[in-house]
């Protein structure tokens, strides 16, 4: 079942990418006490994710913070080392990378997709959510193959 607006994020392990290396965090605890714009991509270095989704949030990070967002974070079913390389290659210093290498978080919130036809296995669906003190305040999930409602610009338009 897919998480909905008003629900609390479940406990699931994510791996935060830091300059000191991977740092395991519990999602329920990590999002507590602050307002986080979280966006998910099917995979680092994939076309839409690299050309539009991540760059949009990098460009709009300050505008989001000006509207009450404490942190901008990205999650993907990739390991922390891949997300770190993607962040560096993309100049995404203002975006926190949260690796979901086993897809546990994506499964826990009911937002997985089958990327087998592309050789990717189970991945996260593309979405953006605004999490306020661990509770989903806004949630925008893309239809397969689309990039419309999960953009940074769309999130800004509702804040």
Out of 12, 17, 40, 49, the active site residue is 49
Give the separation between CA 44 and CA 29, rounded to whole angstroms. Answer: 25
Active site residue 74: no
Residue 63's SS3 state is helix
The answer to whether residues 72 and 56 touch, using CB atoms and an 8 Å cutoff, is no
**What are the CA-CA distances from residue 108 to residues 41, 64, 95, 102 (Å)?**
16, 26, 23, 11
Kindly list the catalytic residues. 49
């Amino acid at each position: 079942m897919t998480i909905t607006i008003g629900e609390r994020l479940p406990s699931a392990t994510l791996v935060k990418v830091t300059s000191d290396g991977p740092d395991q965090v519990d999602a329920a605890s990590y999002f507590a006490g602050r307002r986080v714009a979280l966006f998910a991509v099917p995979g680092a270095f994939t076309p839409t994710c690299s050309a539009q989704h991540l760059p949009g949030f990098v460009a709009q990070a300050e505008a989001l913070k000006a509207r009450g967002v404490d942190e901008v974070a990205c999650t993907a079913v990739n390991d922390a080392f891949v997300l770190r390389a993607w962040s560096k290659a993309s100049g995404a210093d203002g975006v926190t990378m949260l690796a979901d290498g086993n897809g546990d978080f994506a499964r826990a919130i009911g937002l997985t997709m089958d990327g087998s036809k592309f050789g990717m296995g189970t991945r996260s669906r593309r979405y953006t959510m605004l999490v306020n003190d661990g509770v989903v305040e806004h949630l925008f999930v893309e239809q397969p193959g689309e990039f419309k409602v999960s953009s940074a610009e769309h999130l800004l338009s509702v804040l």
